[in-house]
Amino acid sequence: MKRWLLALLLPLMVLAFTKSVPNPELLGGSKWCEVCGMDLAMFYKTNHAIELDDGTKKQYCSIHCLAAVYPQYKAHIKKILAVDAATGKWIDATKAWYVVGSDVPGTMSPVSKLAFASKADAEAFAKAHGGKIMTFDQVFAMAQKSLEKENAMIERKKRQKMYPMGKMLYQRHCKEDIKRDDFENIARLKDYIVKKCPELQGKKLQAVALYVWEAKDRKHIAVPKDAKCPVCGMFVAKYPRWAAMVVDKEGRKLYFDGVKDMLKYYFSHPGIKRLYATDYYTGLAVDATKAYYVVGSDVYGPMGNELIPFEKRVDAEAFAKDHGGRIVTFEEIDKELVSRL
């Protein structure tokens, strides 16, 4: 086949398959992905979901976003579901066959990953669109391994384009001060923005939601002067460099004089909505579940040995090189590690 003819046919082959559907089956009560805020209907054929042991269902736009939250929920997951790319129906993801790396663009990843209930359907799709047939275990391990690299790529794009656009649109169209801490996740925030700023749609709506959720209120943890650590009783405001905070299921903010005490509280109090730590280098509040921690260094916190948080792995590596210790992620921290500190 001549190159010019192939160049004409390839776009048509991709357009023959669309990830969107007009009437998606939404399991989690929102039309937005709880992790990234993307429109679930637009990316429906890459949607994944989990059902927890209490019956709660949470839906995500992609296996990338499922991998991002998996450490948080893995002890309580009853089922993992995926949308069958052939039929648009929900299926058991652990029994699905995946086509990886086809000519269909990926969702939250440069590499597409589409699930099929039937191996024959997966093989037929791969024959038409390219890609490799893999099992769920293989694909999920791949998604977990590439998560950090993909997140870094996504973060660069957001900082360069989405946050500046979102800030401009927020200031122009939103008449009230919308606070991230008033919402459980970005999906709930986006539902609120739609009601309050109805003129924002599509990419503009996504940009505003990302700006409010991830960039607008990026600052130091503001600790009240009289706030005491609920674990050790120390006045937290005396140690701003080490301040940590949780938001519980009632929306209350509790402050701690270090990540170690915060995690002692977290492991014994179910229902915590969000956790924040203070980046050791920048002093800014960071999502504690996405931070990197150096443990076992020669630097001590107010309560001695401490988990020292960094937003970026490269900063954690530089610190460990200077001060010793090893790097752990949030999902690698358990009660035993905290009790040893």
| Digit-coded pLDDT (tens) for 9-41 | 444 444 468 999 888 999 977 899 999 999 999
Band (pLDDT 50/70/90 cuts) for residue 324 is very high
R_g of the chain, CA atoms, integer Å: 22
Residue 131 reports pLDDT greater than 70: yes
Mean local confidence (pLDDT), 296-318: 90
Contact 107, 61 (CB under 8 A): yes
Q: What pLDDT was estimated at residue 46?
A: 98
Band (pLDDT 50/70/90 cuts) for residue 180 is confident
Q: What pLDDT was estimated at residue 177?
A: 92
Q: What percent of the chain has pLDDT over 70?
A: 95
Mean local confidence (pLDDT), 246-253: 88
CA separation, residue 143 to residues 75, 94, 157, 200 (Å): 19, 14, 20, 32
Q: Closest Cα to residue 61, out of 14, 112, 107, 11?
A: 107
Residue 8 reports pLDDT greater than 60: no
Q: What pLDDT was estimated at residue 103?
A: 95
Residues in a beta bridge with 327: 294
Q: What percent of the chain has pLDDT over 90?
A: 69
Mean pLDDT over each residue of the chain, to the nearest integer: 90
Band (pLDDT 50/70/90 cuts) for residue 318 is confident
Q: Is 22 exposed, middle or buried (0-12, 13-18, 19+ CB in 10 A)?
A: exposed
Residue 218 reports pLDDT greater than 80: no
Encoded tokens for 133:
């047939």
Mean local confidence (pLDDT), 234-247: 93
Q: What pLDDT was estimated at residue 6?
A: 41
More confident residue, 66 or 3: 66
Provide the total of helices (H) and of strands (E) in the chain, helices listed first.
Answer: 10, 14
Domain boundary assignment for the chain: 3-146, 148-215, 236-340
Q: What pLDDT was estimated at residue 1?
A: 44
Residues in a beta bridge with 275: 246
Residue 173 reports pLDDT greater than 80: yes
Q: What pLDDT was estimated at residue 53?
A: 93
Residue 5 reports pLDDT greater than 50: no
Q: What pLDDT was estimated at residue 13?
A: 41
Which phi and psi angles does 252 have, rounded to 5°? Answer: -75, 145
Q: What pLDDT was estimated at residue 4?
A: 52
Mean local confidence (pLDDT), 160-181: 91
Residue 7 reports pLDDT greater than 80: no
> pLDDT digits over 34-61, tens only?
999 999 999 999 999 999 999 999 999 9
